[in-house]
Structure 1
Amino acid sequence: MTQGLQLGKLLREPLIHFLGGALLVFGFFWATGTDRDPADYAIIIDEADISRLTAGWAANFRRPPTQDELDGMIEKEIVEEIYYREALRLGLDRNDPVVRRRLFTKMRFLNTEETAGEKPSDMVLQQWMDDHPGKYILSSQYDLEQIYLGQSAPEDIAQVIERLNSGEAKSADIAKPISLPATLSKASSGAIDRQFGERFTKALEALEASQWQGPIRSGFGRHLVKITAKTPGKQAQLSDVRQQVSNDWRAAQNAAAEARSLAKYRALYDVTVAGRE
């Protein structure tokens, strides 16, 4: 009898009620999902979301969506959000190289977002050019003719060149067929590189103008070349290469911003690599 009274008194204690309620809540969470936070299960499609969906539809179809079409987009948005959250709960984002790379790219974008909108002044760009003088040089330009000889030059090449320079022979009589331009006008060194190869372009620097010379080699074989005009390369002015300088400056700012962010993040981590002390 005494034990029954003690048990009844114990059951009426507030602490026992609290613990009992906690156990019930824990049991509910255990049965319906681990650590189920009600706020994490709330999906709200607000006016901004609806405006975004409507604008996206109008951009694709050149008209606003009907109510049924809008309802369909909203339903799709809800379904995607549900699947997205459930995928995260199951850990499907972990150890997935595609997801990892996408998140890595997004973080890099966020780290450089502030610098992306900066517009450098001409003074800043000119200072950047002055700090990197060898990077902004206008390449030489050439007006030239070329005769493709094939993989090997004829044994009497000196006589061939003499006849060309004297006008006794025409280039069409000597040239072998190839899908390369026979003449170039105001062609930069870079443009010639892309068509004939760097070896060919370098050889042009040592050639004199106004007469046939060679043979010189390209990636295709041997050529005779006649330079009719040459404009030597020179240091560029800002007006010549403004976009390139702006792009280079911005890339450097982004790299610096990313390095600062990475240093801040990395300081929070204890990194261990197998084989390193």
Structure 2
Amino acid sequence: MNAPRWLREPLLHFMVAGAALYVGAAWLAPPPDSGRSIVIDEDRLVTALRQRSGVTDERAVRAGLAAMPATERAKLVHETAAEEALWREGRALGLDVVDGVVRMRVLQQMRLILAGEATRGMTVSDAEVGEFYAANRSSYGEPAAFTFSHLFYADPQGEARSRTALARLRAATERPDQWGDRFLYQSTYSSTGAQEIAAQFGIGFIAAIAQLTPGLSWQGPVKSDHGWHLVLLRAKEEARVPPLVTIEARVREDALAAKRARAVDASVDRLLARYHVSER
């Protein structure tokens, strides 16, 4: 029995063979991208760097990115990829639909979810507190503090006027209660930290009074950002780090926060490990 003529057409044979090859290729080929690939190109790094730095000049950001050391660039790629992974996982959970929020909010929610899972019931031992204190002593340092009164003399002629006043004070001929010009801040400071004094008087002033010897005599004149001052330095407390026993509660809280942060970072890294990250 002869096959129908249309079955003997060469064109039909070609089409059938092509279809078979197409189906075979589709069957043997790996499935299309399932959303587990994250590609970080320069534009994404520029966007991430602008968000972190707050710099709006794109050319400056690109120049900074080009000059960035390899280790810092790798860290930026890692963090950008981690944010993308969190975003995708958050969308998979429907967070963007439930709250109708933008990307940053989804990232925050995902970190909260991971934090809840990774840090539930977490505590720190006394040994961990001690180790954290030893590694971060400088964070708990208390700056030098000063107790003093001052008389202010504004420019011009502030220095000359203050020197005249100092001679009269040392001669003990008058009380200084009403002396000096009106000052923007206080006339007397008690156990005030060096940073606060520097913020009000300037770095030069705090450096100068740090060299004075506490006592009952007026000293100066001392230059500030505002003019000239005569200073009666009553007490000076050196910078120090409080012993652990006096700030243990604070250190324990900080140590626990750091431990939790490490646990969350580890959770983010495990989540990111599900993805293939590449830089283009």
Smaller-chain TM-score bracket: 0.5 to 0.7
Q: Tell me if structure 2 keeps the 8 A contact 1:149–1:174.
A: no
Distance 1:92 1:111, change over 3 A: closer
In the alignment, the residues of structure 1 paired with residue 241 and residue 114 of structure 2 have an alpha-carbon distance, to the nearest angstrom, of: 34
Aligned partner letter, 2:102: V
Query: Does 1:246 find its partner at 2:247?
Result: no
Tell me how far 1:123 sits from its aligned partner: 3.5
**Equivalent pairs, count:** 185
2:105 alignment partner, one of 76, 88, 102: 102
- The residue aligned with 2:176 is 171
- The residue aligned with 2:229 is 223
Which runs of no fewer than 5 residues in structure 1 stay unpaired? 1-87
- The residue aligned with 1:36 is none
2:241 alignment partner, one of 226, 235, 242: 235
- The residue aligned with 1:32 is none
Aligned partner of residue 235 in structure 1, secondary structure? coil
Q: Which moved more, 1:98-107 or 1:197-206?
A: 197-206
- The residue aligned with 2:152 is 148
Q: Tell me if structure 1 keeps the 8 A contact 2:162–2:229.
A: no
Distance 1:229 1:97, change over 3 A: farther
In the alignment, the residues of structure 2 paired with residue 100 and residue 149 of structure 1 have an alpha-carbon distance, to the nearest angstrom, of: 56
Aligned partner of residue 276 in structure 2, secondary structure? coil
Tell me how far 1:120 sits from its aligned partner: 2.9
Which runs of no fewer than 5 residues in structure 2 stay unpaired? 1-90
In the alignment, the residues of structure 2 paired with residue 98 and residue 176 of structure 1 have an alpha-carbon distance, to the nearest angstrom, of: 57
Tell me how far 1:237 sits from its aligned partner: 0.9
Aligned partner of residue 186 in structure 1, secondary structure? strand
Which segments of structure 1 move beyond 6 Å, counting only runs of 4 or more?
none
- The residue aligned with 1:266 is 272
Tell me how far 1:228 sits from its aligned partner: 0.8
- The residue aligned with 2:261 is 255
Give the superposed CA RMSD: 3.4
Aligned partner letter, 1:162: A
- The residue aligned with 1:209 is 214
Rg (Cα) greater in structure: 1
- The residue aligned with 2:114 is 111
Tell me how far 1:236 sits from its aligned partner: 1.0
Aligned partner letter, 2:107: F
In the alignment, the residues of structure 1 paired with residue 120 and residue 165 of structure 2 have an alpha-carbon distance, to the nearest angstrom, of: 59
CA deviation string 1:246-271 (max 9, x = no partner): 34323322331232122222222334
Q: Tell me if structure 1 keeps the 8 A contact 2:145–2:238.
A: yes
In the alignment, the residues of structure 1 paired with residue 122 and residue 254 of structure 2 have an alpha-carbon distance, to the nearest angstrom, of: 13
Pairing of 1:40-119 with structure 2 (within 5 A): 93=96, 98-113=101-116, 114-115=118-119, 117-119=121-123
Tell me how far 1:197 sits from its aligned partner: 4.7
Q: Which moved more, 1:141-150 or 1:191-200?
A: 191-200
Q: Tell me if structure 2 keeps the 8 A contact 1:116–1:250.
A: no
- The residue aligned with 1:11 is none
- The residue aligned with 2:143 is 139
Q: Percent identity?
A: 26
